[in-house]
Structure 1
Amino acid sequence: MSNRVPTGIYGFDEISGNGFRKNSVNIVFGGTGVGKTTFGLQYCLYGLNRGEKVIYVSLEMDLKQILRDCRGLGWGHIENYIENGDMQVIHEFEDDVLYLSRDIIKSIKEAKKGETRIVIDPLTPLAFAMKNKNERKAMSRFFQELRKLGTTIITYEKQMIEKGEQGESVVPLYLADSVIELENLGYGELFDRTLRIIKHRGSKHGEGIYPISIMKGLGIVVEVSEEKLETLKTKDQYQDTFNEYKQKIEKQFKGDVRDSLLRRIEAIQSHWTKKEDPEQLLQLVIETEKKQVV
């Protein structure tokens, strides 16, 4: 059995040693609107399509808001997984934020069924409540408990990671097994968002800053190619390419993975307005989806 958990983030596993270590805690941080929630939901959906269980702990959005975001990304079918119990969304907690870590662990234990992917989005309220070093030490115990329960993504706002007046971050990065930063450069170009792996314990990983895009039907795509795409064809000239890859999907996949993947390829095809040939992206999608397919 592999000790790695593929993320489903297209291009990310290629630069992170084939995904996250099993039973690890992984921080994804960045400013508002950079794709942190998308990263977490994409990680969830990849596991759901492979029969895994998911626990999604939301400290801000309720279920209605989560489903709205999923539909906006072309992932409306995630509602089916929630209805049949494969994905459990936990949103309600006690008002006293100092007891939040206890409540989160308790809720996850009660909901856990077998191999589990866990997302906590975001954990910012708990970090804000920790005013001194002793309280922050409790974060270490919290992370240790999470490792016993599954492979976890925790999102934070960037200000919780940046150093304060005393020269230490509110969230000590050494507690996490990996730390990923998402950033929006604000240039308005195709790849104005970037991803950087700050640390990845026990793993070889890319050390550069990688451009990313968020595409309807797919989610986050990390641009890992060192060569620029050279094709200058128009959208209509790529219909044969899309049809070819849909046929490949029909032959190489089955069940929920096939159906979900076809829906995403259809969404990409209907929104493809770029001059670049989509073949490199489609091949990356298929290679990523092949991992751990039974």
Structure 2
Amino acid sequence: MAGRVKFGVVGLDEMLHGGLLRASICAIVGTYGTGKTMFALQFAYEGLNRGEKVIYISLEEREELLRATMAQKGWDAKVFDDRFSLLRLDPTDFNLAINSIKSELPALIRSTGATRVVIDPISLFEGLFTDESIQRQEMFGFIEMMRDEDCTLVLTSETDVRDQNGSKYGLVEYLADTVILLRYIRSPGLTEVHLALEVVKMRRSPHSREIKPFEIQEDGIMVYSEASLF
């Protein structure tokens, strides 16, 4: 289980002291427009480029839109079709979404030999449970189930509308080993808006605690790990 998994985002791997810990769970938390899906896709594509097998589960974007985004970035996902499982689940179909994630995902991981798994966004899965106690129980159970699998898991989550520093339901940041928070930072004169990133926590590893600017560029993401915001 030892070792590092490169995230594949320039600057972020430096902030993570070489990457995520292998077989750990990472949550990417951010408000709309901060690039959560782009970070998740970059993580998946890095794995494919390294010869790994990847499962990407989308609860929001249609498969063709995700593939179009990858093609726009110059990433030819079709080259990796034998190692890339891209699944679109409809969160409005409660039973299908629950059973697919809870019952079928472990078997899919083992049958494909996937070492990277993405669920984008996990907050839609959380939202399927209207009772708070059941929601908590299901999320704890899901995370424990995933810890038995030999893969590195990345989850994306929207922020809480009342707290831009926390996830929508306030659970995933406590369950994950690593939490990466994406946010908007406005300049003191309110003349500029920047995207910024913070590694809020990383269990069992040192990591940067600074808030760093980043850009979503034509071919990927660049985190300016040596720069200051203003």
The TM-score range, normalised by the shorter chain, is 0.7 to 0.9
Contact 1:186 1:192 in 2 (8 A): yes
Q: TM-score, normalised by structure 1?
A: 0.67
| SS across alignment from 1:185 | strand
Q: TM-score, normalised by structure 2?
A: 0.84
2:86 counterpart residue number: 89
Give the Cα–Cα distance (whole angstroms) in 2 for the partners of residues 121 and 227 of structure 1. Answer: 29
| Structure having the larger proportion of residues in helix | 1
Q: Deviations over 1:257-289 (max 9, x none)?
A: xxxxxxxxxxxxxxxxxxxxxxxxxxxxxxxxx
- Does 2:114 match 1:111? no
1:129 Cα offset (Å): 2.8
Give the Cα–Cα distance (whole angstroms) in 1 for the partners of residues 195 and 141 of structure 2. Answer: 33
Task: Provide closer, same or farther for how the CA distance between residues 47 and 32 of structure 1 changes in structure 2, counting only shifts above 3 A.
Answer: same
1:17 Cα offset (Å): 2.3
| Structure 1 unaligned spans of 5+ | 229-294
Equivalent positions of 1:84-233 (< 5 A) are 85-92=82-89, 95-97=92-94, 100-112=97-109, 113-130=112-129, 131-149=131-149, 150-159=151-160, 162=163, 170-172=169-171, 173-185=173-185, 192-217=194-219, 219-226=220-227
| SS across alignment from 1:61 | coil
Task: Provide closer, same or farther for how the CA distance between residues 162 and 139 of structure 1 changes in structure 2, counting only shifts above 3 A.
Answer: farther
| Structure having the larger proportion of residues in strand | 2
Give the Cα–Cα distance (whole angstroms) in 2 for the partners of residues 143 and 183 of structure 1. Answer: 25
Contact 2:198 2:209 in 1 (8 A): yes
- Work out the percentage of aligned pairs sharing the same amino acid: 31
Contact 1:160 1:170 in 2 (8 A): no
**Aligned residue pairs, count:** 220
Moved over 4 A (4+): 93-96, 186-189
| Structure 2 unaligned spans of 5+ | none
| SS across alignment from 1:158 | strand
Larger relative contact order (Cα-Cα within 8 Å, sequence gap ≥ 6)? 2
Task: Provide closer, same or farther for how the CA distance between residues 162 and 103 of structure 1 changes in structure 2, counting only shifts above 3 A.
Answer: farther
Give the Cα–Cα distance (whole angstroms) in 1 for the partners of residues 85 and 100 of structure 2. Answer: 15
Indicate the structure (1 or 2) with the bigger Cα radius of gyration.
Answer: 1
